[in-house]
Amino acid sequence: MSRVYNFSAGPAVLPEDVLKEAAAEMLDYRGTGMSVMEMSHRSKAYDAIIKDAESDLRDLLHIPDNYKVLFLQGGASQQFAMVPMNLMKNKVADYIVTGQWAKKAYQEGGIYGRANAIASSADKTFSYIPDCSDLDVSEDADYVYICENNTIYGTKFWTLPNTKGKILVADQSSCFLSEPVDVTKYGLIFAGAQKNVGPAGTVIVIVREDLVSEDVLEGTPTMLRYKTHVDAESLYNTPPTYGIYMCGKVFKWLKAKGGLEAMKEYNEKKAEILYDFLDQSRMFKGTVEKKDRSLMNVPFVTGNDELDALFVKESKAAGFENLKGHRTVGGMRASIYNAMPMEGVEKLVAFMADFEEKHSDML
């Protein structure tokens, strides 16, 4: 069977070149006589893999020396607790709630101190990003938290919030490495790998070194302290070795493609093809305010549940996988991450146009 066009929100499409390279190395990684899956994380061969991955990531994002890079486990959801455990010194934090994952982080933050929702777009089903230019930031807040790209609802912060001098913490899971980022604007960035970077099981944390200390909330487990992992260079315990190896291959693929500037341009072209179609379609409609549209996740609907279900069924039969919207919102969603080829988006739009013509009687 030939490969499908996989529009899954995560675990998501990976670059075919990377998968082929990993397949070729599966049984024997560079003359070691073993797979990376079988390799000791303390070995010389693996040490080179993890150090190389960090170096390439630093190159891609121009990460300054005073920021630490960590490869951890537990996914982005574990960071909802790890962030307040390590950073909530005053036991106060402000959250901007723009979707389900930001809401979950906000609720988790409330376990450890006073979590304030200082802005929200819940009033319009998270279909926009609220104005964050002059927020009522709490004087004693330890940080301001955002989910920068909302996977479920398809919104993106194109302007970072004015945090009034407070540390900005960002969950970048579904936009990580899709465009250049000024890391110095953040105190901490984290991202689950399974959307744009690698297989599920790895989370990447980029944290400013002055935020890494022994001064954490009482009862914080050793494994949930950033300092534990910084001191051990992500090797305190057995890390997700194969996941990190795959992330490293994706970093090299991105560098070969011209880096994040080239990736942003490519992603803008892909998104434009799909949004342009949605804006002129009589059947399909985007669900996000235009100024806040994500380049990575594109939700859309017909307005007819029966028609939505038929589209999902027929698109799957035509080789387009995982276009069903998140179970909490319904409709459809196309996740068009870095590794989704332009051809995939062009073919999807052609299919949508045919579907619209074929089922125009249902409008």
d(CA 134, CA 155): 20
Closest of 219, 189, 220, 221 to residue 205, by C-alpha: 189
Binding-site annotation: residue ranges for pyridoxal 5'-phosphate: 76-77, 101, 151, 171, 194, 237-238
Evaluate whether 193 touches 242 at the Cβ level (below 8 Å).
Answer: no
Q: HSE on the CB side for 237, CA within 13 Å?
A: 8
28 Cβ contact list (under 8 Å, min separation 6)? 34, 35
The Cα–Cα gap between 90 and 261 comes to 38
Known catalytic residues? 101, 171, 195
Question: Measured in Å, how far apart are the chain's first and last C-alpha atoms?
Answer: 35
Q: How far is residue 335's CA from residue 328's CA, in Å, rounded to a whole number?
A: 16
Cα(250)–Cα(234) distance, integer angstroms: 19
Q: Which parts are annotated binding residues for L-glutamate?
A: 42
Give the DSSP letter string of 157-190. -SS----TTPEEEEE-TTTTTSS---GGG-SEEE
Q: What is the 3-state secondary structure (H, E, C) of 319-358?
A: CEECCECCCCCCCEEEECCCCCCHHHHHHHHHHHHHHHHH
Sheet containing 114-120, strands listed edge to edge, beginning at the edge strand earlier in sequence: 67-72, 203-208, 188-192, 167-171, 143-147, 92-97, 114-120
- DSSP per position, 258-271: THHHHHHHHHHHHH
- Calpha distance 261→168 (Å, rounded): 23
Cα separations in angstroms, 158 against 129, 153, 155, 292: 9, 15, 9, 7
CA separation for the pair 197, 293 (Å, rounded)? 21
Annotated binding site: 42, 76-77, 101, 151, 171, 194, 237-238
Residue (of 83, 87, 109, 106) closest to 96 by Cα position: 106
